[in-house]
């Protein structure tokens, strides 16, 4: 399993339920508010500083996601994605990567499609059963509670 970390050059990260705890706070005006874990952000920055590309992929659309990505220096964010497999394949092929060079982390059924284009499939601890069953690795931490940081640290520690 640790050998998979050495090959990773691209990490595809779902947002709701992975970078957040999955809850949506919606104001009376319709504004969606999300809560991100700051430790996850540092983990993603560390990956990028080591030359690993990070792309956010989400089925919903939110200004909060764009803002958080900007704060972290993540240049590619795909929102409102209905076919995560197609997007993951396009991103992989555009970069000339093999599946074993791609990691995907998710929590819910649409993320299984993204897993099909990844050599390392990761589910957060509180992912739905079907996602956990398809994963190579399940984090100890829940989505929005350090799961992304756990994955980042695992990749970096196993690349040395």
Continuous segment of H or E residues that includes residue 57 = strand 53-57
pLDDT at residue 117 in the model? 97
Domains and CATH numbers, the chain: 2-157 (3.40.50.1000)
Q: What is the pLDDT of residues 26-80, one digit of tens each?
A: 888 888 888 999 999 999 999 999 999 999 999 999 899 999 999 999 999 999 9
Residue 15 predicted with pLDDT over 90:
yes
Task: Tell me phi and psi for residue 37, to 5 degrees.
Answer: -85, 125
Structure confidence at residue 1 (pLDDT): 74
For the entire predicted model, the pTM comes to 0.95
pLDDT at 92: 98
**Residues 92, 94, 97, 101, Cα dihedral to 10°:** -40
For residue 132, give both structure tokens: 């956990």
Cα gap 60→81, rounded to integer Å: 7
pLDDT at position 11 over 90: yes
């Amino acid at each position: 399993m640790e050998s998979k970390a050495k090959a990773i050059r691209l990490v595809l990260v779902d947002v709701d339920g992975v970078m957040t705890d999955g809850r949506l706070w919606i104001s009376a005006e319709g504004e969606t508010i999300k809560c991100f874990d700051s430790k996850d952000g540092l983990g993603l920055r560390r990956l990028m500083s080591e030359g690993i590309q990070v792309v956010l992929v989400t089925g919903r659309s939110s200004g909060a996601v764009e803002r958080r990505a900007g704060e972290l220096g993540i240049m590619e964010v795909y929102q409102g994605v209905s076919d995560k497999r197609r997007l993951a394949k396009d991103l992989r092929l555009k970069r000339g990567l093999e599946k074993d060079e791609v990691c995907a982390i998710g929590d819910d059924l649409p993320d299984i499609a993204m897993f099909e284009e990844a050599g390392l499939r990761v589910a957060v601890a509180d992912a739905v059963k079907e996602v956990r069953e398809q994963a190579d690795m399940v984090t100890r931490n829940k989505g929005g509670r350090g799961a992304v940081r756990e994955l980042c640290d695992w990749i970096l520690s196993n690349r040395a």
